Amino acid sequence: MLIVKVLHLWMVVSWFAGLFYLPRIFVNLALVAPDSTAERDRLLLMAGKLYRFMTPIGFLAVALGLWLWFGFGFGGGWLHAKTALVLLLLGYHAYCGRLLRNFQVGRNLRDHVWYRWFNEMPVLLLLAVTYLAVVKPF
């Protein structure tokens, strides 16, 4: 089971790297001048590849987490709270995909400041999930 735990942590760290960086690309996309198609295309290519890379990693992180949960039989309110936060992260991930599709078809409705704030959500969720997993307060 320790190997499963190591793989879970590795996938979580990798998934979060994508969750931290993709919205930063969105900030840059929101700042691109309308006549700068080469820059826009390059950023869209990067964002698309990153999203396609981080999606299966997020799936593996969740699957390995479930394996640990059912393999160890963890219980307690902390785990339910952590699971709720992971569901929020999955929603955040899916919403990033929607934002990417909007950028790809030229329908971005947000400015770079909104994306800067949007980029902070996974940081706060990671802090909360880590706290719950380590401290197990309830």
Q: How confident is the model at residue 115 (pLDDT cuts 50, 70, 90)?
A: very high
Q: How many domains does the chain have?
A: 1
Q: Quote the domain boundaries for residue 91.
A: 2-135
Residue 7 zone, left/alpha/beta (φ > 0; ψ -120 to 50; rest): alpha
For residues 10-32, average pLDDT: 98
- pLDDT per residue over 40-82, tens digit each? 999 999 999 999 999 999 999 999 999 999 888 777 899 999 9
pLDDT of residue 1: 84
CA 66 to chain CA mean position, Å: 18
Distances in whole angstroms, Cα of residue 49 to Cα of each of 10, 52, 77, 96, 109: 20, 5, 37, 13, 22
- In DSSP notation, 14-31 reads HHHHHHHHHHHHHHHHHH
Q: Token pair of 91, please?
A: 């929603």
The per-residue pLDDT for 73 is: 77
Neighbours of 41 (CB within 10 A): 11
